[in-house]
Structure 1
């Protein structure tokens, strides 16, 4: 699932959200653009459960996907969730990963902890891919029955266009192909991704209508190949995406798999037919047919063989029936829809929004939100566990520091970040504080905020004398100008040594964050670095030395880390706006 580039500091987890995170501490400094979710659902019983989620910058490599998949399988095994099959689309990394793990068309499984895990490709996704191939190529079918004879004939996408145009000429209100629309024949963008567009185009209704046009000599006999191909695709979808206990009339395989349903023999015959398909780019040029299997064709073959072997395995485990609808990605796609709806119908939520919405959906039991126009059917599954433990607050969060209103704090200027040696810029900061340089005024103002939060629940005259000063210090000019009254000071004024300490700390943090931003326990890591760079000798209150030191370090981190994230996000937005503006100018110029 695509997500938006955005980072935000999470004080509860003590990490920056929005960076690439592949679990087990494998975080990088790259911004996340995709969410990878592992989702389990029952075969014998109607349940579902999100298992894990990860964030990647540029998709996931096949090697990394193998590692993550095995981690998830191990975790599922420890939770006593027996995994018998994996379902995924035909993304390049997915195909490569299962191939490297030992799965192929002849042996559609890999072995994990001495158990066979069958690998199946998502059938609705396969249908869309095959539709796209059909638009690009003619398909040579070796077994088309014409007048009781088997002939080699080509299925053509153009036959569907002719049939649709013929149906639109019907002078009566009712139409045979009433579900088809103009854009179904020329799908682009979001339309091309909708399963129903492919399913309704390659449906039994279209196949029957083509047969009728051939019978009335409106289409030539060669169009029987197109009708035959569409009927085969319709039956394949029925057999691999069914949940009804009893088959409908005219749809013998649109029901659950059982010993008497005939699915196994149908799949074996379908495997033979699909294996013989040849794709021809130029019309009527059978010599230019592809003699190798195209990816989607291999996907059908792999899925047919894997589903057949899975059913054989389940029968040995005492399973009497199988809902093939349970071995597709509808449950996962519905989860993505719920996550987007939970973010205010946001198609590309941020990492923080994704995590928050996912937790909300799980706690609410992944209930149906009545979404219309979704890209998949309702999965009719119930959540295995709502993970109410997600509601428990994280331990170890400092309430006094966490309550700081980060949005009201702004550290102006970036000139303090131009140093690499802390002792060097500490001297320069001290000189700037002494003369009341503009770049130190905002630091003093932030110090006043820290002093206010500190002494709201803490009283010590000695500490107050160390950290505070009067309004005559040059670095406090900005605070003095912001006073509400000339008769009484209501704002807090910082001492020069305190300004130097915080200025040094925030500069060190700015220099180090691009290097340590991917770390877990980020505040602890940053605090240790700051502790080595800041001179705390100005704190002469022995009773509260360590308390003040710890409070100041945490304050710098709680203010500096979120502000670092905010500035980076602003830069991302500015760059995106600049690119949009440049594209608009080029378009207008053209």
Structure 2
């Protein structure tokens, strides 16, 4: 960027404008605020050039071979402890839509599980896998797939095993998998855990708050946590006061009819925070809340500390919160977890409507315990290899959530992309080394991960090598399936087939043309012949 302004001045074919400060200011503002003016004044590559560059970069469904080669090169220069990473995976919702991919000669929009094959089901989700470093903060997308609704458990299990094997072959060491608590994820990981000793590490903080909306949680004998105490404290704080105690909470945060609010981790973190617990204790001491609200405050304190203990980073704690730091031999994490685990095991959720125990309907109680035990297991493993500090934020799925946010904000608005639009946005973000700036309204904090190197340059070099070493472009059509069609249906089928061939880019291949085009007019061309317009 330092030499960019000078490059523009030297390369500009027009004489420089007046250097009057006000005129220069107007010019700069015009360049950034007026898109059309910026296109003509700033020397930028054309849209066609950008598309040509992106088309040379291979990025099909499944595990990307170019990324594996890239990871192998980067691992060669890594310290042994920096090789340890987590495998993160999650699904993102997509819109329905089909588009023919001229590069891979297939229609994009159907369910595609890479090595497991394609189906005729319409895809409406993308499943993305990413690796993230534990000691060294790096991240890299390694594979993506298109699924119909959600991926099936046997398929997900096969994909996880396949990806782990391929990633391990590069020299990286996967020590944990990170995902949400979806039923398919839990089932697949449960089966894998039955076959292996390693444990998954899901994320359950937001689910605890959501459970409080429908239930009261008995976390100790006859001690109940209720969300109504949090709402009551907020309403008291909203009354006419010079300064508010819970200034981070807003009225819209309590509108749970809005599903977007229920899914925001930031909202849940603010509602189950140390500040909220202290406010409840204050209002209870003043007689403005019942004494039983202190039980809710105690529960909120525990959950807030638990959240901090699993998301800390840095060697020293921050903002006065002792658990908001990395795990080490001298940090208070292990002692805190050993005391909290028995409490979580005894949590009971009582439904407000039926007053029945519905704990088994919620998986976050078991999930908290599994997460804590998993982190302890990972820590004991890595500590024996020489790791002194374990950044607990490296065990969450923020990088993948941020990736989805970058894809959704690709261009002006891409909130519900089709499969084709998703691939284009994903490729753009990945070749830019995952450094596209995030919107302030994202659901996750900045993950502070950096790219391993210049991935875009590597892909372009690899593409040039592949194009130079490629042989014949002849296609193998031995597996092409031909279907017999009734004579009456053949006329319409031939017309539709001709329309499709006119829209797609048929490669300059004699075999393809021989199979796709007819040299002579035949019986099934009657409708096409009669429908043709005269050349007048």
Fold shared per TM-score above 0.5: yes
Contact preservation (8 Å) 1:257, 1:322: yes
Is 1:173–2:267 an aligned residue pair?
no
> What residue in structure 2 maps to residue 206 of structure 1?
276
Is 1:138–2:219 an aligned residue pair?
no
| SS of the residue 1:65 aligns to | helix
Change in 2 beyond 3 A, CA 1:27/1:527: farther
Rounded Cα–Cα distance in structure 1 between residues aligned with 2:108 and 2:472: 19
Change in 2 beyond 3 A, CA 1:193/1:235: same
Q: Tell me how far 1:315 sits from its aligned partner.
A: 1.0
Q: Tell me how far 1:74 sits from its aligned partner.
A: 1.3
Is 1:39–2:130 an aligned residue pair?
yes
Among 114, 131, 146, which residue is 1:55 paired with?
146
Rounded Cα–Cα distance in structure 2 between residues aligned with 1:310 and 1:212: 39
Q: Tell me how far 1:508 sits from its aligned partner.
A: 5.5
> What residue in structure 2 maps to residue 120 of structure 1?
201
Contact preservation (8 Å) 1:128, 1:195: yes
Superposed CA offset, 1:190-220 (max 9, x none)? 1111111000000000001111122122222
> What residue in structure 1 maps to residue 451 of structure 2?
383
> What residue in structure 2 maps to residue 420 of structure 1?
485
Superposed CA offset, 1:71-103 (max 9, x none)? 111110122221010000001100111112235
> What residue in structure 1 maps to residue 371 of structure 2?
303
Equivalence map 1:465-504=2 (5 Å): none
Contact preservation (8 Å) 2:402, 2:438: no
Q: Tell me how far 1:289 sits from its aligned partner.
A: 3.2
TM-score by length of 1: 0.64
> What residue in structure 2 maps to residue 182 of structure 1?
251
Among 64, 68, 83, which residue is 2:174 paired with?
83
Rounded Cα–Cα distance in structure 2 between residues aligned with 1:12 and 1:533: 18
Change in 2 beyond 3 A, CA 1:215/1:354: same
Q: Which moved more, 1:160-169 or 1:32-41?
A: 160-169
Rounded Cα–Cα distance in structure 1 between residues aligned with 2:471 and 2:112: 23
Q: Tell me how far 1:258 sits from its aligned partner.
A: 0.3
Rounded Cα–Cα distance in structure 2 between residues aligned with 1:302 and 1:293: 17
| SS of the residue 1:16 aligns to | strand
Contact preservation (8 Å) 1:167, 1:176: yes
Contact preservation (8 Å) 1:18, 1:32: yes
> What residue in structure 2 maps to residue 580 of structure 1?
none
| SS of the residue 2:326 aligns to | coil
CA-based RMSD of the aligned residues comes to 3.2
| SS of the residue 2:114 aligns to | coil
Contact preservation (8 Å) 2:432, 2:456: no
Equivalence map 1:157-556=2 (5 Å): 157-169=227-239, 171-187=240-256, 188-248=258-318, 250-282=320-352, 288-290=356-358, 292=360, 294-385=362-453, 386-388=455-457, 390-391=459-460, 392=463, 420-421=485-486, 506=495, 531=514, 536=519
TM-score by length of 2: 0.70
Rounded Cα–Cα distance in structure 1 between residues aligned with 2:223 and 2:296: 9
Change in 2 beyond 3 A, CA 1:389/1:15: farther
| SS of the residue 2:193 aligns to | coil
Is 1:20–2:89 an aligned residue pair?
no
Structure 2 gaps, min length 5: 1-91, 474-483, 523-527, 529-536
> What residue in structure 2 maps to residue 482 of structure 1?
none
Structure 1 gaps, min length 5: 104-109, 143-150, 400-418, 430-502, 513-520, 540-555, 557-590
Rounded Cα–Cα distance in structure 2 between residues aligned with 1:58 and 1:20: 9
Contact preservation (8 Å) 2:130, 2:400: yes
Superposed CA offset, 1:273-312 (max 9, x none)? 1111111124996xx3346473111111111111111111
- Aligned length, in residue pairs: 412
Larger radius of gyration: 1
Q: Tell me how far 1:341 sits from its aligned partner.
A: 1.8
Q: Tell me how far 1:384 sits from its aligned partner.
A: 2.4
Q: Tell me how far 1:381 sits from its aligned partner.
A: 0.5
Q: Tell me how far 1:7 sits from its aligned partner.
A: 1.1
Superposed CA offset, 1:45-80 (max 9, x none)? 111111100001121111110011111111101222
Contact preservation (8 Å) 2:212, 2:226: yes
Change in 2 beyond 3 A, CA 1:535/1:358: closer
Change in 2 beyond 3 A, CA 1:234/1:83: same
Q: Tell me how far 1:186 sits from its aligned partner.
A: 2.9
Q: Tell me how far 1:530 sits from its aligned partner.
A: 7.9
Rounded Cα–Cα distance in structure 2 between residues aligned with 1:398 and 1:7: 30
Change in 2 beyond 3 A, CA 1:387/1:532: closer
| SS of the residue 1:29 aligns to | strand
> What residue in structure 2 maps to residue 489 of structure 1?
none
Contact preservation (8 Å) 1:48, 1:381: yes
Is 1:9–2:100 an aligned residue pair?
yes
- Which consecutive aligned stretches of 4+ in structure 1 deviate over 6 angstroms post-superposition? 396-399, 509-512, 521-524, 526-530
